[in-house]
Amino acid sequence: MVGLSGVLIKSIKGEIMKKITLALTAMAVLGSVGVAKTLKVGLASGAYTMDPQAFNETATNSILSNIFDPLVRFDENIKVHADLAESWTNPEPKVWILKLRKGVKFHNGNALTADDVLFSFDRIKNWKKSGFKGKVSMIESVEKVDDFTVKFTTKKAFPVFLRKLTYVNIMDKETNEGKSDEWIGLNPMGTGPYKFVLWRKGDQIKLKANTDYWAGTSTYDDLILRVLSNNATRTAAILSGEVDIVNRVPVVDVARVKSNDKLNFFIKPGLRLIYLQMDQFRDKSPYVKTSDGRNPFMDVRVRRAMYYGINEDAIIKFIMKGFAAPASQFHPDVVVGHDPDIKRVKYDPAKAKALLAEAGYPNGFEVTLDAPNNRYINDAQIAQAIASSLAKIGVKVKVSAVPKSSFFPKTAKQETSFFLIGWASSDGDGSSMLDGVIHSKDDTKGYGRYNNGKYTNVKVDKLIEESDANMNPEERVKQMKEAQRIGIVEDQNIIPLHYQVDIYASSKNIKFTPRTDSKIWAFDIK
Amino acid sequence: MMFKYILNRLFHSAIVMFVISFVVFFIMFKAGDPVQLLLPPDATQQDVIEMRHALGIDQSFIKQYQAFLVNVSKGNLGNSFVYGQPALNVVFERLPATLELSVIAMIVSILLGVPLGIIASIRPRAWYSRAIMFLSLAGISIPVFWTGMVLVLFFSVMTGWLPSSGRGEIYLFTSAFTWDGFKHLIMPVLTLSFFQLALILRLTRTGMMEVLMQDYIKLAVAKGVPRKVVVYYHALKNSLIPLITVIGIQFGQLVAFTIVTETIFAWPGTGKLIIDSIQNLDRPIVVAYLLVISFIFVAINFIVDVLYTFIDPRVRV
Amino acid sequence: MIMKWFKNELLVEFFEDKMAVIGLVIFALLGILALAPSIFTYQNPYDLTQLFLENSFQAPNPNFILGTDEQGRDIYSAMLYGLRISLYVGLASTILSVIIGYTLGLISGYYGGWVDTIIMRIADIQLSFPAILIALIIMALWGEGVGKIIIAITVVNWVYYARTARGVVLSEKEKDYAQSARALGMSNFGIIFGEILPNTTAPIIVIATVRIANAIILEATLSFLGLGVPITEPSLGSLIANGYQVLFSGYWWASVFPGVLLMVLIISINLIGDRMRDIMNPRLKR
């Protein structure tokens, strides 16, 4: 009896088990055969290479950030967060010890270890064609402490070190060692949320979700990044739904995007300052014509007159259609070193004229304003509008807006008296602009590489150099603020115009948070 | 005799390409330093020097050109400064898209232009002939970019019938065989071929009209040869000669005008590549592109010349 | 003398065709507008003191009859000034090309020898290149400016005239009148410019009219690609290019009106050129 019931129970159990197994299997199969979600992105420019250490350029960096991870990463407000390095210490001013996250795998299954980190840093240092040398030049040595610990020693105390680390993407030593540059430029092997599928240069990049990503799974299985560099084309694509999200919506198309009820519209103040530099080192400047033959920009009153004489509000309103933030200083508010007490002056053509007269130019003068026409948002239009403003205070401006390939070499050779240019403090730290633009030109120490107006003030130089080595955050910021105050308020060494604002549009089906560093990081898009 | 002629032409073509490469190389050399554009702001002077050396552009012009020639003999046109990949590869990757556009546009122009030209030539004063001629006038008067703009405005933005940019799905090397590909092709091809069509139309018409006035044609008609035979056989054959020449020259022009079309339609061809490369001072790509284009051009001219000798017995070598 | 010129057979034939006359009239009208745009406009778009950003992107209205662009430039005024630039570039580059090309072609054909070889080889090489590429490279690397564009277009176009001139000279120099001039001891220079040249102007005029239109289109295309005239002195091409950027945002007037004017200009030139070609083509004579 018992035996029979035992068998009966067993068989019933078996039946039930069978049914349950069948049901579970069915659910598993159905679950995995879900519809693959694809995200189509329309980008204003494509990548130049798949090698994350070749070209330090926003579009390329943005695209590759989906494939690679750095040791530490910026969040959408450029604050440093742990990434492949889960923790770090700074036991001495010049020493940084980072502990790597365990269990992270490259897309080919290789485990991430300190060897890969060393390889990545060494490659940048030794590869002549790397555009990231500036991000590692402060490093004296990189040592492996153990498989998951790396020790960095900097040449001097370097307070901004972690910010620089966000630029170094970690590559797989085993895959890349010994390979040619061309090969590496076509075969990215990273640890990031997406794997490389294909790249049609100038057309599109296809990526596939990395299901083993250490931070979780991305919402989208497939990522198609399309290059739509023509403004009108890009707008047309988002309006027609051919893509789900676009960056760099042209300011004139914002109204159309906003009125489209299938689209969401985002703005995010960016890091790029658009400003004017003036020739401040020559007594006779080649592209200025004055009644007395001297260079008017040597006089601070003339420089101030320019500041008061440009109707920046009108430029923001009519040329940028409101999508720019008026600038009063070198850094926007998210950047370390920003001084909330420095405010922009109001447009005052009468005062500008008075200043000019005081300086000895009651009838103004003639000058050429050089600008690029394919580098910054509406650059040529802004230059024209500036010329139009200055004409009203008696300064006759001739605008020379040329492609960047002609423009930048011109400024580097100081073949200009007055030019429009931009600067993005992409580290999120004011030292970037202070070192590169404000400090006087000093090729041996590597300062002032972009100080093509050759502004010089020894006090400012000293403050900048001190702040670069000061590990005390509060003191440092004070020094940076003081350097800025002397430069802008006392010396008027540049004419700040505005900060560019990033404009995005996306389909209402997507949840997207724009980033200050202008990158589109698909992992965060839901 | 023929062999010598062919050899002569080949030699001639080679010289042409050599000179082109020299001139372009020189121009780009003079144009300036691409390193400024490649390196970010925080690069040091040392980085600039090293990058220049790595790209080989810190040498004198002669040395650089020599290196270039050595590379050419190995079939290598150098690496793009920007992409880091062999310049020839980058150009060849993008070439199919441009060729697709150019070839299809040329075919459309011929298929529409020749018949319309013939029609307009038989009875030049008829209303339909005048209408065709006016259309052709519009065709050669409207710049390529304007045609493109109007098409996009109407077919994409206002009606949404056609996609405004990009290239569609590819099957058997071309996107013409898929519906998606076809949709993407229509406007760029129309834009590109409108001008060509008009030109071919007018040439056919003029050629036909000239021939139709010849005595031997009148004789044939008088002898009772059917009109159709007269037109299609005798007249057409003789007007083909200038037509072929023009098609040959125009194909090169067409490839150049794809630059504008590719800009408007975000067509991933060589046109966009060359504009960007000139802007970025990417000399290897500019040189590679121009050499490829002139090679295509020279090859077509060569074929046309040879065809000439077969078609027109008056052209003796 | 003048009456004899007017009764010239060719002119009579020209005026027979209504379309050609319309073309001529339109072109003449545009020419007048272009010669002195300041008379016909109420804003000088090149004078920056007259531009106010507050007027940016206004639709056509009584103040600005065809609307404004983003700098507050009146489109109607800018069009007329742009027309002047377009015509100036087209005519100047054509005249230069004709002078240079024709002279080189004449010399090449008349003297022959290595002079001929060199000039023709250069022409061949240039013809191996799509014209727009040459102009593109020149402009992209040289910067902007009306003078530079004229030179770029001239560099592109001289070959057509040179080729034609050479062909004509080759056939003319063996003719009787040329032989007799030589026999009479006339200098080479005299023969070329005194005897042969007048007999060869007809084809040149025909080609020139066509190529003026081409030159204008080439300039417009270069400006559209951002490589043309300086932005503060826009030509029709750059106006269209600027307007194109904002065309889909609804600011249609900035691109459409200059575009229409450009079309009308080129069509009128082509109407004239067409007619001239038809009447001067010996093979179409009945």
What is the per-residue pLDDT for C200?
Answer: 67
pLDDT band at A234 (very low <50, low <70, confident <90, very high): confident
What is the per-residue pLDDT for A30?
Answer: 46
pLDDT band at A29 (very low <50, low <70, confident <90, very high): very low
Q: Is residue C230 less than 8 Å (CB to CB) from chain A?
A: yes
**Is residue C283's pLDDT more than 60?**
no
Which among B42, B94, B166 has the least Cβ separation from residue A432?
B42
Evaluate whether C243 touches C256 at the Cβ level (below 8 Å). yes
Using CA atoms, how far apart are residues A325 and A441, in angstroms rounded to an integer? 29
Q: Give pairs for B42-51: CB < 8 Å, separation 24+.
A: B42/A134, B42/A135, B42/A432, B42/A435, B42/A436, B42/A449, B43/A131, B43/A133, B43/A134, B43/A449, B44/A133, B44/A134, B44/A137, B44/A446, B44/A449, B45/A443, B45/A446, B45/A449, B47/A133, B47/A134, B50/A128, B51/A128, B51/A129
pLDDT tens per residue across span A303-332? 999 999 999 999 999 999 899 999 999 999
Which among B28, B257, B297 has the least Cβ separation from residue C132?
B257
What is the per-residue pLDDT for A503?
Answer: 93
Six-digit token string for A313:
């509000």
What is the per-residue pLDDT for C6?
Answer: 47
Which residues on chain A are in Cβ contact (under 8 Å) with B93? 200-201
Angle at which helix B144-152 crosses helix C253-280, to 10 degrees, equals 130
Strand partners for A263: A507
Angle at which helix B283-311 crosses helix B270-279, to 10 degrees, equals 140
pLDDT tens per residue across span B170-187? 666 676 777 777 888 889
What is the per-residue pLDDT for B317?
Answer: 43
pLDDT band at A32 (very low <50, low <70, confident <90, very high): very low
Which comes out higher in pLDDT, residue A207 or C175? A207
Tell me how far CA of residue B236 lies from CA of A160, A484, B201, in angstroms.
77, 79, 13
pLDDT tens per residue across span B53-80? 888 788 888 888 888 888 877 777 888 8
What is the per-residue pLDDT for A31?
Answer: 45
The two beta strands, A38-43 and A222-227, are parallel
| 3-class secondary structure, A171 | coil
What is the per-residue pLDDT for B185?
Answer: 87
Which among B42, B93, B263 has the least Cβ separation from residue A436?
B42
pLDDT tens per residue across span B200-238? 888 888 777 777 777 777 777 778 777 777 667 766 676
- C-beta atoms of B266 and A233 within 8 A: yes
Q: Is residue C146 less than 8 Å (CB to CB) from chain A?
A: no
Evaluate whether A464 touches A435 at the Cβ level (below 8 Å). yes
**Is residue C27's pLDDT more than 50?**
yes
Using CA atoms, how far apart are residues C251 and C254, in angstroms rounded to an integer? 6
pLDDT band at B307 (very low <50, low <70, confident <90, very high): confident
pLDDT band at C249 (very low <50, low <70, confident <90, very high): confident
pLDDT tens per residue across span C131-176? 777 787 777 777 677 888 888 888 888 888 888 778 777 777 677 7
How many Cβ pairs within 8 Å bridge chains A and C? Answer: 83
HEC secondary structure over chain C:
CHHHHHCCHHHHHHHHCHHHHHHHHHHHHHHHHHHCHHHHCCCCCCCHHHCCHHHCCCCCCCCCCCCECCCCCEHHHHHHHHHHHHHHHHHHHHHHHHHHHHHHHHHHHHHCHHHHHHHHHHHHHHHCCCHHHHHHHHHHHHCCCHHHHHHHHHHHHHHHHHHHHHHHHHHHCCCHHHHHHHHCCCCHHHHHHHHHHHHCHHHHHHHHHHHHHHHHHHHHHHHHCCCCCCCCCCCHHHHHHHHHHHHCCCCCHHHHHHHHHHHHHHHHHHHHHHHHHHHHCHHHCC
What is the per-residue pLDDT for A161?
Answer: 92
Read off φ and ψ for residue A95, nearest 5 degrees.
Answer: -120, 130
- C-beta atoms of B145 and C244 within 8 A: yes
Average pLDDT for chain A? 88
Ramachandran bin of A10, using left for φ above 0, alpha for ψ from -120 to 50, beta for the remaining angles? alpha
Tell me how far CA of residue A49 lies from CA of A46, A53, A59, B36, B90, in angstroms.
9, 9, 10, 18, 12
| 3-class secondary structure, A408 | helix
**Is residue A480's pLDDT more than 80?**
yes
Which residues on chain B are in Cβ contact (under 8 Å) with A56? 39-40
Q: To which residue do tokens 């009106």 refer? A: C257
Which residues on chain A are in Cβ contact (under 8 Å) with C248? 232, 235-236, 253, 256
A35 contact partners, CB below 8 Å, separation of at least 6: none
Q: Which whole number is the average pLDDT over B20-28? A: 78
Strand partners for B171: B174
- C-beta atoms of C124 and B16 within 8 A: yes
| 3-class secondary structure, A340 | coil
pLDDT tens per residue across span C37-50? 888 888 888 888 88
**pLDDT-wise least confident of A422-431, C50-59, C194-203:** C194-203
How many Cβ pairs within 8 Å bridge chains B and C? Answer: 107
- C-beta atoms of C128 and B301 within 8 A: yes
Q: Which contiguous run of DSSP H or E holds residue A263?
A: strand A263-278
Using CA atoms, how far apart are residues C168 and C14, in angstroms rounded to an integer? 24
**Is residue C16's pLDDT more than 70?**
yes
Using CA atoms, how far apart are residues A495 and A328, in angstroms rounded to an integer? 9
- C-beta atoms of B42 and A403 within 8 A: no
Average pLDDT for chain B? 79
- C-beta atoms of A236 and B278 within 8 A: no
pTM of the model: 0.82
Q: Which whole number is the average pLDDT over C190-195? A: 68
pLDDT tens per residue across span A446-466? 788 889 999 999 999 999 999
pLDDT tens per residue across span A142-182? 999 999 999 999 998 889 999 999 999 999 999 999 999 88
**Is residue A509's pLDDT more than 60?**
yes
Residue whose C-alpha is closest to residue A127's, from B40, B57, B51: B51
pLDDT tens per residue across span A68-99? 999 999 998 889 999 999 999 999 989 999 99
Which among A236, A252, A397 has the least Cβ separation from residue C246?
A252
What is the per-residue pLDDT for B86?
Answer: 87
| 3-class secondary structure, A170 | coil
- C-beta atoms of C284 and B263 within 8 A: no
Using CA atoms, how far apart are residues C47 and A287, in angstroms rounded to an integer? 19
pLDDT tens per residue across span A382-405? 999 999 999 999 999 999 888 887
**Is residue C181's pLDDT more than 90?**
no
| 3-class secondary structure, A329 | coil
Strand partners for C263: none
What is the per-residue pLDDT for A312?
Answer: 94
HEC secondary structure over B48-104:
HHHHHHHHCCCCCHHHHHHHHHHHHHCCCCCECCCCCCEHHHHHHHHHHHHHHHHHH
pLDDT band at A295 (very low <50, low <70, confident <90, very high): very high
What is the per-residue pLDDT for A188?
Answer: 94
Using CA atoms, how far apart are residues A459 and C149, in angstroms rounded to an integer? 48
Strand partners for A503: A267
What is the per-residue pLDDT for B316?
Answer: 47
Q: Is residue B252 less than 8 Å (CB to CB) from chain C?
A: yes
* % chain C with pLDDT above 90: 5
Q: Which whole number is the average pLDDT over A7-32? A: 52
**Is residue C112's pLDDT more than 80?**
no
